[in-house]
Amino acid sequence: MLSTALAAVLALSATALAQDEGEGAQAPLTVIHAGHLIAVPGEDVREDVTIHVRGNRIEAVEDGFASPEGATVIDLSDDWVLPGFIDSHVHLLSEQGPMRRFEGFVLDPADMAFNGAANARKTLEAGFTTAQDVGGNFEAITALRDAIEEGDVPGPRLRVSGPAVTPTGGHGDVNGFALDVMHMFSSETACNGPADCRRAVRELVRGGADVIKITATGGVLSNTAAGVERQFFVDELEAIVEAAHLMGRRVTAHAHGVTGINAFLEAGGDSIEHGTYLDRDSIRLFRRNGAYLIPTAMAGEFVAQQAETAEWMTENQRMKSRQVGPQMLDMVRRAHEGGINIAFGTDSGVSPHGDNAREFELYVMAGMTPMQAIATATVNASRHVGMEGEIGTIEAGKYADIVAVDGDPLADISELRDVDFVMKDGVVYVSE
């Protein structure tokens, strides 16, 4: 009897799936007339092109302006059309300010998720259709990720790490409060020794983390005078990377100081966030590993500016902001000249959400061409987040993530700070 019931359920499921697939094939057709199309950043611009969108996918890209009978036509014939942007380093649940240090004590995960929903909308409306959130309350950020995926909340498609794996007292732990407060609120992913660090990684994977983030060095905005060099032991780094890779997860490391950058890359790490003090050996290791750098240059610019004016900064934060922030633009120049893989990332949440495209301007200031800067947020970032088959270019079969601006971003990269059209998953969110 059980087998009969199970067979009936499977039959119903197969019928429903077939109906869904049939409905998807009959989804209405939308065509976009793109005057200037950067379909694959790094390749030639195409002129007067039609993009066919059915459901949430790109069905075809063809030369000339076609208007099939019954199709909805979106006229971007005077605009520059690009793939939706990817920000590889955001913190959607919060934004830096006077109360940021205390939010973990006064906000619950539901509060944080609602804050994240507002910031997710700003990010999407700025043209960023995919983002990787690397560090934040696990319950809140996974709930936000899933709500966006279900279509309940507008926002970029998310990959999330949850809280960073950190040494006790490290950049990802609680610092600068009374001892009993720090003991009570210490991060669940703080770890000591290889076995404990493997435990932290496995708990994150069990909880649904898409990627593992660690704090390989001290950080700028943690309220401690522990510097910005390596804080994990080498055997801990090796244990983290091995445990993550065994469970099918990439590992990215917050790292400013060169000792942490190089030790993490030697341990087989996949990418570095920030990379402020990288050197020639770092560049060699990046290239050997095929690892990615996520520069977050605008975070450096922001904290350097805030160090001179912001009353919310503690003296520890102010000191490190003045030291580290001004170094980051030159770091991008050295990394670019060194030929390593660079994926766009802003650390938004340190700087205001929605202003993510400022990072493009900084990359150009550091010596990239506008096309190279655009590639960091499209083709490069899609590879970094492991989604190159789905996003990053405007090609048949990929998600219909498309943005447009009314001026030429190859002549003036600042055009990308004012997007006029945003489509994600075939749904239009901005149309000016």
Query: How far apart are alpha carbons 34 and 411 in whole angstroms?
Result: 18
Q: What percent of the chain has pLDDT over 70?
A: 88
Report whether CATH 2.30.40.10 matches the domain 2-84+394-431: yes
What integer is the mean pLDDT of 240-255?
Answer: 98
Least confident segment among 21-25, 160-164, 236-240, 406-410: 21-25
List pLDDT tens digits, range 317-332.
Answer: 888 889 888 889 999 9
- What are the residues whose beta carbons fall under 8 Å from the beta carbon of 403, sequence distance 6 or more? 81, 82, 83, 84, 85, 127, 129, 419, 421, 422, 423
Binning pLDDT at 50, 70 and 90, where does residue 177 land?
low
CATH homologous superfamily of 85-384 equals Metal-dependent hydrolases (3.20.20.140)
The whole-number pLDDT of residue 379 equals: 98
Q: How is the chain split into domains, by residue range?
A: 2-84+394-431, 85-384
Token pair of 32 as six digits: 């976009």
The whole-number pLDDT of residue 176 equals: 57
* CA 112 to chain centroid: 18
Residue 10 has pLDDT above 60, yes or no: no
Residue 397 has what DSSP assignment? T
Intrachain domains 2-84+394-431 and 85-384 with the same fold: no
Angle of helix 358-365 versus helix 297-309 axis, rounded to 10: 100
List pLDDT tens digits, range 256-313.
Answer: 999 999 999 999 999 999 999 999 999 999 999 999 999 999 999 989 988 898 888 7
Residue type, position 121, single letter = R
What integer is the mean pLDDT of 210-227?
Answer: 83
Query: How far apart are alpha carbons 144 and 147 in whole angstroms?
Result: 5
pTM: 0.90
pLDDT averaged over every residue in the chain: 90
The whole-number pLDDT of residue 320 equals: 80
The whole-number pLDDT of residue 323 equals: 86
Query: How far apart are alpha carbons 144 and 119 in whole angstroms?
Result: 11
The whole-number pLDDT of residue 12 equals: 36
The whole-number pLDDT of residue 95 equals: 86
List pLDDT tens digits, range 57-109.
Answer: 999 999 999 999 999 999 999 999 999 999 999 999 988 766 666 677 678 89
The whole-number pLDDT of residue 16 equals: 41
- Name the residue with higher pLDDT: 18 or 56: 56
Residue 13 has pLDDT above 80, yes or no: no
Residue 49 has pLDDT above 80, yes or no: yes
Q: What percent of the chain has pLDDT over 90?
A: 77
Question: What three-state secondary structure class fits 276?
Answer: coil
Least confident segment among 33-37, 102-106, 165-169: 102-106
DSSP 336-381: HHTT-EE-----BTTBPTT-TTHHHHHHHHTT--HHHHHHIIIIIH
List pLDDT tens digits, range 338-397.
Answer: 999 999 999 999 999 999 999 999 999 999 999 999 999 999 999 999 999 999 999 999
What integer is the mean pLDDT of 2-6?
Answer: 37
The highest-confidence range among 185-199, 209-223, 276-290, by mean pLDDT, is 276-290
The whole-number pLDDT of residue 11 equals: 38
The whole-number pLDDT of residue 23 equals: 44
Binning pLDDT at 50, 70 and 90, where does residue 19 land?
very low
